[in-house]
Amino acid sequence: MSEALSNGSAPILAVDEVSVSLAGREVLRDVSFAIESGEFTGLIGSNGAGKTTLFRVILGLQAAHGTVLVGGAPRSRRNPLIGYVPQKFQLDPDVPLRARDLVALGLDAHRYGIATPSRARRARVEEMLEAVDARDFADARVGTLSGGEQQRVLIAHALIAAPKLLLLDEPLANLDLRSGHEVVALLARITSEQRIAVLISAHEMNPLLPVIDRIVYLAAGRAASGTTEEVVRTSVLSALYGHHVDVLQVHGRVLVVAGEAGELADTSDHSHTQTQVEIVS
């Protein structure tokens, strides 16, 4: 039994020695970590590191070796304990779906049949719109909203059924700097107020550093987990990557230099590989 499951506690999410191979390629290898209620955890890794695959495993959508427990029980599809915000969401501006309509649909994610309108249902929708500061555009069509506004609506959609664990797949990827900071602050507030465990994936850790309690760093199919101070260190990341890695502090930002050949690549460059310098900025 890994350390993630051996401390006698009952974390909301426990991932133990999870491995996944796709098309003959090992994507994840013996990944283990745990998240407690009310913890804000960053899942950090470059593009292609396996973050989305790991989310699919947790959601019960991807076969894997190893064990995943959600609320102490084996993972399953349509798990009411999990709220999920996908990486990509596209809706034509002409589709007559208002923000409040999309939020309300979150109440039906684990049910079948047509929902019956009720005063309690409307009150719950208003409560969630208020929680994510989306009242001002509640009646706008979702397809006409900005990226940051859509993220707020999607978060409300995921939270309205009162999950215990919220998964967000690269929610900052297509946002400008200001919108990204606003979404991070919103998630930190919700985590604190509602005691929901949050696992947010990103290839840039710096926007999350002020608020995350723990980090799960993915590289070369493996993971290191713990506090930022425990994980983002030269010795830990060098072992993870399988070659020497430098961790630098530059103008208040953390840079992970994971190269062997002195090449430079930003983590937003989808073409880079693990033999290049990786900047997490």
How would you write 104-153 as a 3-class SS string? HHHHHCCCCCCCCCCHHHHHHHHHHHHHCCCHHHCCCEHHHCCHHHHHHH
The pLDDT score that the predictor gives to residue 230 is 95
The pLDDT score that the predictor gives to residue 89 is 78
Q: How far apart are CA 53 and CA 197, in angstroms?
A: 19
Q: How far apart are CA 171 and CA 194, in angstroms?
A: 20
The pLDDT score that the predictor gives to residue 68 is 97
Low-confidence residues of the chain, pLDDT below 50? 1-7, 112-114, 261-281
Q: Which of 113, 103, 101 has the alpha carbon at shortest distance from 83?
A: 103
Q: How far apart are CA 271 and CA 281, in angstroms?
A: 17
pTM: 0.85
Amino acid at 109: A
Phi, psi for residue 86 in degrees, rounded to 5: -70, 165
The pLDDT score that the predictor gives to residue 271 is 34
